[in-house]
């Protein structure tokens, strides 16, 4: 698909090394103003600090956060910032990990309904002890991990920015006038059944 500008939007990528495989999560953030170098750096630092201080206890230690990359999506050749401190950070759970492709889906919800107004975060580094049964995580883990991701939404809000869902298409066609943004207001787990991300298997993805 040809590049479509998303004014004021910062793409924030969490880039990992997961048991030797490069994986990632990404979210979109509305800067609520034109994106500049200071905004890119502020988001990257806040994202790293959140992952290291709040989120990492729910992630297996086979996952290392390599870097945070923030990109201005306002134009095709928008600025980019990479935050990679000298000391990397890993997940804190030492109880063993599920295979790379086994994950839990956290749902990013806005005040609107429909697929265009919702996003998904597929957890990287699901600990074995998170499972209550062969195919489902415990309710406690579901609550704790979604609560941790909600803390990221709140941390971005504290920067006077918003985590958003950027919708480029509707009814199988590009949106007239450009993309529409839906502000994320909550994070939920719709069911505790584990999901699959095949591209995270060793040797499959990037």
Strand pairing of 105-109 and 186-188? antiparallel
Structure confidence at residue 1 as a pLDDT band (50, 70, 90): low
Residues belonging to the chain: 206
Percent of the chain's residues with pLDDT above 70: 99
**144 burial type by CB count under 10 A (0-12 exposed, 13-18 middle, 19+ buried):** middle
The DSSP call for residue 189 is -
Whether the CB-CB separation of 76 and 142 falls below 8 Å is answered with no
pLDDT in tens, 45-71: 999 999 999 999 999 999 999 999 999
Burial 162-186 (b: 16+ CB within 10 A, else e): bbbbbbeeeeeeeeeeebbbbebee
- Residue in 67, 56, 50 with CA at minimum distance from that of residue 151: 50
pLDDT in tens, 74-101: 999 999 999 999 878 999 999 999 999 9
Calpha distance 202→102 (Å, rounded)? 12
Calpha distance 65→77 (Å, rounded)? 26
Structure confidence at residue 200 (pLDDT): 93
pLDDT in tens, 133-183: 999 999 999 999 999 999 999 999 999 999 999 998 777 777 877 899 999
Whether the CB-CB separation of 15 and 68 falls below 8 Å is answered with yes
Q: If you average pLDDT over every residue of the chain, what do you get?
A: 94
Structure confidence at residue 91 (pLDDT): 97
Whether the CB-CB separation of 121 and 105 falls below 8 Å is answered with yes
Q: What is the DSSP string of 167-186?
A: E-EETTEEPTTS-EEEE--E
């Amino acid at each position: 698909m040809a590049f479509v500008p998303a004014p004021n939007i910062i793409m924030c990528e969490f880039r990992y090394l997961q048991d030797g495989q490069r994986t990632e999560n990404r979210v979109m953030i509305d800067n609520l103003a034109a994106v500049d170098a200071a905004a890119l750096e502020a988001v990257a630092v806040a994202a790293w600090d959140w992952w290291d201080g709040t989120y990492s206890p729910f992630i297996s230690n086979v996952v290392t956060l390599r870097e945070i990359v923030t990109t201005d999506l306002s134009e095709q050749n928008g600025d980019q910032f990479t935050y990679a401190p000298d000391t990397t950070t890993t997940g804190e759970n030492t109880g063993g990990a599920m295979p790379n492709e086994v994950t839990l889906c956290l749902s990013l919800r806005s005040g609107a309904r429909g697929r265009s107004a919702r996003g998904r975060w597929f957890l990287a580094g699901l600990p074995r002890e998170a499972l209550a049964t062969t195919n489902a995580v415990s309710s406690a883990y579901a609550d704790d991990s979604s609560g941790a991701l909600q803390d990221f939404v709140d941390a971005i809000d504290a920067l006077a920015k918003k985590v958003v869902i950027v919708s480029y298409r509707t009814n199988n066609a590009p949106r007239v006038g450009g993309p529409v943004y839906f502000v994320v207001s909550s994070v939920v787990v719709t069911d505790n059944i584990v999901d699959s991300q095949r591209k995270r298997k060793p040797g499959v993805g990037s």
